[in-house]
Chains A and B, each alone.
Chain A
Amino acid sequence: MAPSMAAAQPLPSSKTESYVDNKRKDDIRTANIKAARSVADAVRTSLGPKGMDKMISTATGDVIITNDGATILNKMEVLQPAAKMLVELSKSQDVVAGDGTTTVVVIAGAFLKQCQTLLHSGIHPTVVSDSLNKVAVKAVEVVTAMAVPVELSDRVSLVKSASTSLNSKVVSQYSSLLAPLAVDSVLSVVDPAKPDLVDLKDVRIVKKLGGTVDDTELVKGLVFDKKVSHAAGGPARVENAKIAVIQFQISPPKTDIEQSIVVSDYTQMDRILKEERSYILSMIKKIKATGCNVLLIQKSILRDAVTDLSLHYLAKAKILVVKDVERDDIEFVTKTLNCLPIANIEHFRAEKLGYADVVEEVSVGDGKVVKITGIKDMGRTTTVLVRGSNQLVLDEAERSLHDALCVVRCLVNKKFLIAGGGAPEIELSRQLSAWSKVLHGMESFCVKSFAEALEVVPYTLAENAGLNPITIVTELRNRHAQGEINAGINVRKGQITNILEENVVQPLLVSTSAITLAAECVRMILKIDDIVTVR
């Protein structure tokens, strides 16, 4: 194939480092880049505090309104492999940092645009790819140097960064409420023994329709999105509760082996009913004997968790019952209540119970939830009850809260803050182009173009906010050149200010991972020269 390659290239003979490739490969690469860029363009308008939302109607007919890049891309169902990689990229950012899912795609799109021009001017893709890697490494250095350390005790800074993340969402007007809430809930699950790790599974978000987002609250305890089973008039509120989490059922016995009860006459029927009653009664007596007055029953697919009959007896014994707790939730529940699950009535002992001040059923909007508060020796978990006036707002509120939680988690993992509002990107662009001047050859050229690519973030921010992007970006450049490294776009005021003073801050981890992940993804796309269809 070597001779045909040379023939395809009409350029002069000094083709060292020049790009020799055949047509097909060029086409595939261009097609990949185009596809990936169009994905990036689709989410570009939702970047920043004044970014727009997208309405997605899914194949099943559901409608989702969101501003979250990861969610939009996830629902887009793209087929082109390179476009799929951008979707994956956004997901990875979601996993690593939880926020900046739009930013990462927009940066990747801008890098790709530059790659296209570079490839056109005859630079070999591997050279482009290597320079991009250098850019990423250098960029992380620059951003890290800009970062401001933050202490976990500094609640104000944490709240600031959480509200920066929330400001770009539908629920931005509630950021003053949701931001402290997110900070408090994450801080309350941080284990002092391992101060760098947060498991967000310990923060549970319960959604309930009705009310407004204003009514969202942090519950120090547990919330079940379920009714108390009080068909037979059982209590709906218990004080000084002794709570048992049980994994067996209070219903007539059922064996695994197939069985049938043979009834031959009328008197026997009566006896069977009586036996059933006494069987259940004996169980409930055992439960009552330990002093338990709240039962959480695990869902069972094999048989009814409770029957009307057992509910009736439980009501008489003044025991509050919540049924159908999912098996997956048992761990969270037992961790919070600091109790052990009970799998058999024989093991029902007082030491396995959990204690709480109040267990009550609360009406929320049109539904009811069960709240357990004042738990004794509570585990390191929290529950957030999210409210919203309709399902769309509710879902979006949950997603936004998740992002905010992730932001706080990032800060716990890596205790550095950085300015927002396009400030780090423009600074990067400035320092990288300065750096490109000391490099040699093709590399210098590539680094310079990638430095320019990073300006896309402030440019888009300004554009989405209805400002003149060119004026804003050039002024921003000017201010940074004069040494104001924290100058950024203040979208509310529509001008450039010191963004740190405006409290627009974000975790360092979000910025660094956005750049490294975007670079990694673009390099992967660049290296592909063929799409092979396989089984």
Chain B
Amino acid sequence: MAVEKLFKDEATEEKGERARMASFVGAMAIADLVKTTLGPKGMDKILQSTGRGHSVTVTNDGATILKSLHIDNPAAKVLIDISKVQDDEVGDGTTSVVVLAGELLREAEKLVGSKIHPMTIISGFRMAADRARKALLDRVMDNKDDAEKFRSDLMRIAMTTLSSKILSQDKEHFAKLAVDAVMRLKGSTNLEAIQIIKKAGGSLKDSFLDEGFILDKKIGLGQPKRIENANILVANTAMDTDKVKIYGARVRVDSMAKVAQIEGAEKEKMREKVQKIIGHGINCFVNRQLIYNFPEELFADAGILAIEHADFEGIERLALVTGGEIASTFDNPESVKLGHCKLIEEIMIGEDKLIHFSGVEMGQACTIVLRGASFHVLDEAERSLHDALCVLSQTVNDSRVLLGGGWPEMVMAKAVDELARKTPGKKSHAIEAFSRALIAIPTTIADNAGLDSAELVAQLRAEHHKEDSNAGIDVITGTVGDMSELGISEAFKVKQAVLLSATEAAEMILRVDEIITCAPRRREDRM
């Protein structure tokens, strides 16, 4: 006898064909959603929040779009996850990875429809991915030894990444900014040392790179506005008044004079604290918490520049770049590590005054000040620049470079196609399907640009039939062009990550033959 009820109430189970269909449909829907943002002429999306304030974000960044969606479909969640991982690992290609995974599943759906077992498809996909990776490795370029060429590679990669974003109009300017910033890091991938400050006003072209560190705060009243050879103490301590934090502590006195004495004593404690801080031999004091009027005046008297209310991120970064440590007790001056920098001064950006620390200890630190018409523009610019910085810092470590504009996909597709012809058995269908999925990427790029994709991709394939072709889609003129002449490059690491994670995700979804949805946990009724 069949088991009547295996699961709890409201828990559902979908099996076999139906489960697979549900996964395919969900994953493809997600891929189609972000598909139109792919490529240099991709479109943007408005993300309208249903929460309070109905805030609006305009973006072209796949990871940002996917991150903010509500999704119920489990397979769709897998795709969102790979996009996130791509964002964390290499920073770019977040849309490509989802589109490729979606296309692989679309092909797989057809194969499953013609009664090919999912496991056969998976093994075909694996072989194809392996071959595709080898094909890329064969054509990869590495200019690590030639500094000049390497820099121009970096510029090209940055420009390619930026060309699909809002910064595309000023991509040369921003590519230079990003390359300069990453070159300063000297091989480390610690993007923390690159600070991005957004200031509304001006246009994107007015953005600039500044060596050193900029803090968006004010200098206390009556204190020096410019300090050379600064010794900086970064602290996180209460500087309003030191409260006696004993619960229920209470003083009973019998005269006004005694109250005044206590008040005096409190002041005295504060003064002592300030004296201790001054005793560190510093001339700049940065505190995360408020500095109230009284200590502020004491600092002013001692000629120390005091900055109050620096936000947490701000002081952590400041401590990092000046080589200091965040202190919260001041009894042992010798054990506290002070930060140093050559010059502190007040600068004006747009309408605001900011504090500029230059000649900091950690030489690689720098700040990029973004200017733009509105906050939408600035936020999007920051996201785009972040992508470029991620890709560049990865490329500095792994200097292998590929051409862009659909070139890598065509190279892979050609190699995979050849493999399909040599492979006997049903697997070859899957391998062929893999190559079709790869071609879908240049097709989408062409479609988004309003070009005749069928015509262009066919031309491209013909070009690639020749040995060592550099052909790719030139979106600007709408023709097939030589990518190395046009200067469109991509990082090998990004492409490899796109290929491998998309295949893995597709494989994972293909393996599914049952979806069990657990009954939602209920709040207990407290009636």
The chain A residues found within 8 Å of chain B, CB to CB, are 1-2, 5-6, 14-20, 25, 32, 79, 81-82, 84-85, 88-89, 91-92, 95-96, 124-127, 133, 197, 199-201, 247-248, 252-264, 268, 271-272, 275-276, 279, 298, 330-331, 334, 340-344, 347, 516-517, 520-521, 524, 527-535
A18, B450: Cβ atoms under 8 Å?
Answer: yes
Q: Which listed residue (B49, B263, B444) contacts A255, Cβ 8 A? A: B263
* B468 interface residue per 8 A CB criterion: no
How many residue pairs between the two chains, A and B, have CB atoms under 8 Å in the bound complex?
219
**B259–A252 touching, CB < 8 Å:** yes
* A253 adjacent to B478 (CB under 8 Å): no
What chain B residues lie within 8 Å of A344 (beta carbons)? 267, 294, 297
In the complex, whether B449 has a CB less than 8 A from a CB of chain A is yes
A265 CB to closest chain B CB (Å) equals: 10
Nearest chain B CB to A15 CB, angstrom units: 5
Interface residue? B255 (CB, 8 A): yes
Do B450 and A259 have beta carbons less than 8 Å apart? no
Interface window among B51-59, B87-95, B318-326, B423-431: B51-59
B residues with CB within 8 A of A: 32-33, 35-36, 41, 43-51, 54, 56, 58, 60, 65, 68-70, 166, 169, 200-203, 221-222, 241, 243-244, 249-260, 262-263, 266-267, 292-294, 296-298, 300-301, 348, 350-351, 353, 373-377, 440, 443-444, 447, 449-455, 478
Asked if A279 and B293 make an inter-chain contact with CB atoms under 8 angstroms apart, the answer reads no
| Contact with A264, one of B65, B69, B254, B374 (Cβ below 8 angstroms) | B254
Taking a contact as CB atoms under 8 Å apart, the answer to whether A334 and B222 are in contact is yes
Q: In the complex, which residues of chain B have a beta carbon less than 8 angstroms from the beta carbon of A124?
A: 41, 449-450
Query: In the complex where A81-B48, A92-B373 touch, is A259 in contact with B262 (Cβ < 8 A)?
Result: yes
Contact of B294 among A252, A276, A279, A343 (CB under 8 A): A343
The reply to whether B376 and A1 contact each other, CB–CB distance below 8 Å, is: no
CB contact between A298 and one of B68, B293, B296 (< 8 Å): that residue: B293
Q: Is the CB of A279 within 8 A of B68?
A: no
Chain B residues whose C-beta falls within 8 Å of the C-beta of A520 in the assembled complex: 203, 373, 377
CB within 8 Å for A529 and B267 given contacts A92-B200, A262-B254, A347-B301? no
Contact A261 to B253, CB < 8 A, known contacts A199-B348, A200-B351, A347-B297: yes
Given contacts A340-B222, A534-B68, contact A254 B256 (CB under 8 A): no
Closest to A18 in B: B450
Contact status A529-B374, CB under 8 Å: no
CA distance A276 to B257 in the complex (A): 8
Q: Please, which residues of chain B bring their CB within 8 A of the CB of A264? A: 254
Q: Which residues of A contact B449 (CB under 8 A)?
A: 124, 126
27 CB < 8 A contacts A-B: A1-B35, A2-B444, A2-B447, A15-B452, A16-B478, A17-B451, A25-B36, A81-B56, A84-B56, A92-B201, A95-B351, A96-B373, A253-B263, A254-B259, A255-B251, A255-B259, A259-B251, A259-B253, A262-B252, A341-B221, A341-B297, A528-B43, A528-B58, A531-B46, A532-B45, A532-B65, A533-B49
Residue in contact with B48 in the complex, picked from A15, A517, A529, A534, CB distance below 8 Å: A534
Question: Bound state CA distance, A341 and B223, in angstroms?
Answer: 11
On chain A, the residues within 8 Å of B60 by CB distance are 527
Contact A199/B221 with A20-B450, A275-B256, A527-B44 known, Cβ cut-off 8 Å: no
Q: Besides the contacts A95-B200, A261-B255, A533-B49, what 16 more A-B pairs have beta carbons closer than 8 Å?
A: A15-B452, A16-B455, A88-B375, A91-B374, A92-B373, A96-B202, A133-B169, A248-B293, A252-B259, A253-B256, A258-B250, A260-B251, A261-B258, A275-B255, A520-B203, A521-B374
B257 / chain A contacts, CB cutoff of 8 Å: 275, 279
- Please state if A531 and B221 are interface contacts (CB–CB under 8 Å): no
Distance (Å) between the CB of A414 and the closest chain B CB? 12
A272 touches B250 (CB 8 A): no
Check if B203 sits within 8 Å of A516, measured CB to CB: yes
Closest chain-A Cβ to B233's Cβ sits at a distance in Å of 21
Question: If A257-B243, A259-B251 touch, does A89 touch B373 (CB 8 Å cutoff)?
Answer: yes
Cβ contact of A2, chosen from B259, B263, B443, B455, cutoff 8 A: B443
Query: What is the distance, in angstroms, from B441's C-beta to the closest C-beta of chain A?
Result: 12
Which one of A252, A272, A341, A530 contacts B46 once the chains associate, using CB atoms below 8 Å? A530
In the complex, which residue of chain B has the Cβ closest to the Cβ of A93?
B373
Can you name the residue of chain B whose Cβ is closest to the Cβ of A261? B253
Q: In the complex, A321→B296 CA distance in Å?
A: 24
The 9 closest A-B pairs by CB, nearest first: A124-B450, A534-B68, A275-B256, A529-B43, A247-B293, A343-B297, A343-B293, A253-B260, A253-B263
- Contact between chains at B296 and A343 (CB < 8 Å): yes
Pair A258/B249 contact, Cβ less than 8 Å: yes
Measured in the bound complex, the distance between the Cα atoms of B348 and A92 in whole Å is 18
CB-based contact A261/B254 at 8 Å: yes
By a CB distance below 8 angstroms, the chain A residues around B41 are: 124, 126
Q: Which residues of B contact A258 (CB under 8 A)?
A: 249-251
Q: Find out whether the CB atom of A533 lies under 8 angstroms from the CB atom of B251.
A: no
- The chain A residue with its CB closest to the CB of B479 is A16
Could you tell me the distance between the alpha carbons of A535 and B53 in the complex, rounded to whole angstroms?
11
- Distance, CA A49 to CA B420, complexed state (A): 74
| Cα–Cα, bound, A263→B259 (Å) | 13
Question: How many Å lie between the Cα of A521 and that of B251 in the bound state?
Answer: 63
In the bound assembly, the distance between CA atoms of A134 and B262 in angstroms comes to 71
- Interface residue from A88, A133, A199, A257 paired with B262 (Cβ < 8 Å): A257
Please determine whether B450 and A126 come into contact, CB atoms closer than 8 angstroms: yes
Cα A298 to Cα B35 with chains together (Å): 59
Q: Chain A CB within 10 Å — which of B43, B252, B440 has the most?
A: B43
Question: How far, in angstroms, from A91 to B260 measured CA to CA in the complex?
Answer: 51
Instruction: Select B36's contact among A252, A255, A261, A529, beta carbons within 8 Å.
Output: A529
Complex: how many Å from CA A14 to CA B451? 10
CB distance B262 to A534 under 8 Å? no
Taking the closest CB of chain A, its distance from the CB of B290, in whole angstroms, is 11
Measured between beta carbons, the chain B residues less than 8 angstroms from A5 are 447
Given contacts A89-B374, A257-B243, contact A16 B250 (CB under 8 A): no
With A253-B260, A256-B243, A517-B373: A534-B70 Cβ-Cβ less than 8 Å: yes
List chain A residues, Cβ under 8 A from B455.
16
A474 to B47, CA, bound (A): 43
Q: Which of A81, A85, A261 contacts B256 (CB 8 A)?
A: A261
User: Is A535 touching B51 in the complex (CB atoms < 8 A)?
Assistant: yes
How far is the CB of B102 from the nearest CB of chain A, in Å?
Answer: 10
Interface centre among B60, B257, B259 (most CB of A within 10 A): B259
Could you tell me the distance in whole angstroms from the C-beta of A469 to the nearest C-beta in chain B? 30
In the assembled complex, the CB of A367 is this many whole angstroms from the nearest CB of chain B, namely 29
B347 to chain A, nearest CB (A): 11
Q: Are A279 and B48 in contact (CB under 8 A)?
A: no
| Contact B451 A532, beta carbon cutoff 8 Å | no
Asked if B259 contacts A253 (CB within 8 A), the reply is yes
Q: Which residues does chain B contribute within 8 Å of A521, judged by CB atoms?
A: 373-374
- Distance of A248 from chain B, by nearest CB (Å): 8
Chain A, Cβ-Cβ closest to B262: A255
- B300 / chain A contacts, CB cutoff of 8 Å: 340
Determine which residue in A248, A257, A260 has the highest number of CB atoms from chain B within 10 A of its CB, and name it.
A257
**Are B65 and A528 in contact (CB-based, < 8 A)?**
no
Assembly CA distance A306 to B256 (angstroms): 17
Closest to A518 in B: B373
Contact across chains for B244 and A257 when beta carbons are under 8 A apart: yes
B264 to chain A, nearest CB (A): 8
Question: Which among A92, A331, A334, A347 has the greatest number of chain B C-beta atoms within 10 A?
Answer: A92
Q: Which residue of B lies closest to A256 (CB)?
A: B241
* Complex contacts, B166 vs chain A, CB 8 Å: 524
Most chain B CB atoms below 10 A, which of A25, A88, A298: A88
**Cβ-defined contact, B44 with A524, below 8 A:** yes
Q: How far is the CA of A258 from the CA of B248 in the complex (A)?
A: 8
Q: Judging by beta carbons under 8 Å apart, are A263 and B254 in contact?
A: yes
A78–B328 CA distance with the chains assembled, in angstroms: 47
* Least distance between A229 CB and chain B CB atoms (Å): 20
In the complex, are the beta carbons of A92 and B351 less than 8 A apart? no
